Chains A and B, each alone.
Chain A
Amino acid sequence: MTTVLDPTNEATPTQIDPAMRPESLAGLTVGLLDISKPRGDIFLNRVEERLTALGSTVKRYKKPTFAKPAPVDLRHEIASQCDAVIEALAD
């Protein structure tokens, strides 16, 4: 029998359930995160129009660069200010 050393991080995967999906967005605060890709704002402007028509309050956020993860402070700001978030992933 061969015994080897585990090359992985040995971390046990953590099961995280997705947040509960609201039945309606009416009356909720929805964050729109622009990742700074070109033309992402065009898409999000339209999403904002539609959400506003549904009765949502829309807050806009922007990552400093699409090439790096969103800073932790920005993630916290969104989590504490919004009921839901939509991220525009690409151009």
Chain B
Amino acid sequence: MVTPPPLSAGLVAFVKRDCETCKLVDPVLGAIANSEPLTVYTQDDVSFPTSVAAVDDLALEMSWHHNIETVPTLIRVDANGVEEERIVGWSRDQWQAFTGNMELGITLPGFRPGCGSLSVDPSRADELNARMGGSGLVTRRVDFAELEDDFEAMYDRGWSDGLPLVPPTEARVLRMLDDTTRSASDIVANVAPDLIDVTVEKIAVNAVMAGCKPEYLPVVIAAVEAICTDEFNIHGLLATTMSVGPVFVVNGPIRKQLGMNSGINVFGQGNRANLTIGRAVQLIVRNVGGGRPGGVDRATQGSPAKIGLAFPEDEEGTPWISLAEERGMEPGVNAITALCLEGPRLIVDQLSRTPESLTNNIAECLMTTHSKRMVYGIDALLVLSPEHMSRYIDAGWDRARFRAELEERLMVNTDDIIRGTGGIDEGLPADFAGMQLPKFRPGGLHIAHAGGPAGLFSSVFAGWVSGEKGSVPVTKEITP
């Protein structure tokens, strides 16, 4: 902490023009100045007050250092510059006693409350705290030149994913850090491909740039923890030529607290939390981990989902247990699940009125993820829409029943997908003929519920090399 600049001996006042009480005491200050040393600091106008010359504190440096919360504030300072006593607002009795001048302000009202000091104004406080207080942040500072446009400057330095970034000023980063109980210096994870330890502070910097609100930070931290595990293998899914990226599903009450959208256009535009949480994670992979398209990121075609995709499950719209609960979390716990996936693809069924018919159709669609000839090796996330979900709720199917019925229909006759069959060279080697194989490995089909209230459309996101040889979904609790 910086040592506060000293106050002059005698009396010191802090005022601003934009305060009726300060205007009221203007002549009083002149009267005091006639009888003893008085220094007046003005916060908003150097020509105010009129009765005595003021010292410019428009930068609010003295106000901030001396903890001025109200104007007017009158402080008595001893010969050594040490504060002895202070009063705030206007009270004739108080001011008279304080100065020993019983004639002071006798024509004025007896009492008027003061106004808020500009140094504690909510719109100024973060910037002042950062500028004056010594933030404790250790991240390297980067100055942009006067003639640089801030937004262009960030593009020029290669920090952007292609979209504009919010400048990560010290004040914004400090505000972001307010919403975690973790220390800014805590190391959260080791980020591939450059294998760099990432701190809470560095995550906050990238979260600011992504457009996150401070309350999203714990979710971003949990997401970074999830992807930077050997199981999830962010290095592998970055380096692969397949067009997959980390997709996040959020469960628990925090979905509502952050105002996340699990309804209409859930995977699309329009919701800040849905869009910026995933983006913050991808910016961390880019800027901290060093994983950039064309560098270690070798995706042949990529996917818009790789800009950043997180969405909450609609837990209220179904009696089914949530994705996080199926993956072992307790009900009501805030959790984020990271899955390695492509973008969403529609499953259309507008005519099925029985759960059996709908399940048959969903299974047929799932059989074609990536290629009908690809079996067992690739996971998928099926997201049922509310209208499709209602078929199962009406029929009394729970998640376990649905899963069992679906998996029964997801057995592949390998004779149909041997290399060369159907005039297609792709497929399984001939020695796989005569088998029944599941389309997805055990536990490889993940199920969630989200979407708007109308529309007989669900979605599937197909994955990448699944299991220990590739990527395994990881669920982490979101802690404050």
Contacts and interface: CB of A to CB of B under 8 A. Distances in A.
B139 interface: yes
B107 to A, nearest CB: 49
Contacts of B141: 3-6
Given A9-B194, A64-B469, A67-B465, A4 B240 contact: no
Q: Is the interface of B mostly helix, strand, loop or mixed?
A: mixed
Given A9-B194, A67-B240, A3 B235 contact: no
A3 B141 CA distance: 6
A10 B290 CA distance: 11
A69 B196 CA distance: 16
Interface in A1-51: 1-11
B144 A2 contact: yes
B196 A11 contact: yes
Given A8-B159, A8-B288, A67-B240, A3 B469 contact: no
Bin the interface of chain B by size: 35 or more
A64 B236 CA distance: 13
A68 interface: yes
Given A4-B144, A65-B470, A9 B169 contact: no
Contact of A6 (B139, B194, B230): B139
B239 to A, nearest CB: 8
Contacts of B415: none
A52 to B, nearest CB: 29
Interface string B235-268: 1110010000000000000000000000000000
Contacts of A11: 194, 196
Contact of B209 (A3, A7, A10): A7
Contact of B140 (A1, A6, A67, A68): A6
Contact of B235 (A2, A4, A8, A69): A69
Contacts of A68: 230, 233, 235-236, 469
A82 B159 CA distance: 40
28 contacts: A1-B143, A1-B144, A2-B144, A3-B142, A4-B142, A4-B154, A5-B142, A5-B168, A5-B169, A5-B170, A5-B173, A5-B205, A6-B205, A7-B202, A7-B288, A8-B159, A8-B288, A9-B194, A9-B198, A9-B287, A9-B288, A11-B196, A64-B469, A65-B468, A65-B469, A67-B464, A67-B465, A67-B469
Interface of A: 1-11, 64-65, 67-69
